[in-house]
Structure 1
Amino acid sequence: MTEGTTTPDTGAESNADGPEGLPEGTDTGEQQDGSESPGSKEARYRIRAREAETALAEAQSRIEAMNRRELERLAGEAGLSHPTDLLTLSANEISDYLTEDGEIDPEKVAADVEAILTERPGLKKARRYVDPTQGLGGKVPMPKKPSWGSLLG
């Protein structure tokens, strides 16, 4: 072999992949001189608009679910046995029970529940009746006998 030809060294010290010390893949995709093409700017705005629309739709669905739960809670407190029946039986929407501030109006809910319960009294919450024999060992309480102490005292 001749002494004038050398082969490139492919070891760890090779600079064939680029200068050492510079990170690879850190380009942000934006032009460095500050001028941006109108197409990429519009695309970025469209992406941001879609993300905003998605976030708005998610927020609206969460607000509607919270309003529905509040409406059902108020209907249950007003005496309806199945609070989910309020919207079905009254033929109203959630928006019919909202105030100007966007809150559920408890008076409107109570009025509709009262109207439903006057038409269909079987939809009231079941009352719990107290059984006096419960908790007393099954014994019927004995009537008190009159005594001299109760007569004098």
Structure 2
Amino acid sequence: MEEDDFSLCVLDNARKAARAVSRHYDRLARQVGMTAGQFSVLVAIRQTRQETTGELASRLSMDRTTLVRNIALLERKGFVTAGPLREGRGKTYLLTERGARLLEEALPLWRKAQGDVRELLGTEDFYKTIDTLKRLSEL
């Protein structure tokens, strides 16, 4: 039997890439006092309409407790406010004016991070990579 080539391990390579990309986006997000993860949460909250915490966590592919911790920090900083759902139990979240301003301040940095990745990969590979990542997230 042939020896396994662990340099082709999808898990190992995906984790290495995810850490490198996260560090790059984090470096830029820190310029406005947040992490890349918090940026993602703010974007998701801005896009959501009456989603429960669990639904929001699922959409972000984030552990529910990690999301709750991130939201609690964003609430303490005055960027997010929580309220009850109109129907049923649970919470829903909205950006405050301060949170919306922070997100607008962070968007050019996100665009730069996106541009850096696109430049590294080239436009065609950038879109192929996004497609591949979306397909992998369905596992």
Question: What is the TM-score with the length of structure 1 in the denominator?
Answer: 0.27
The structure showing larger relative contact order (alpha-carbon pairs under 8 Å, at least 6 residues apart) is: 2
Whose helix proportion is higher, 1 or 2? 2
- Higher strand content, 1 or 2: 2
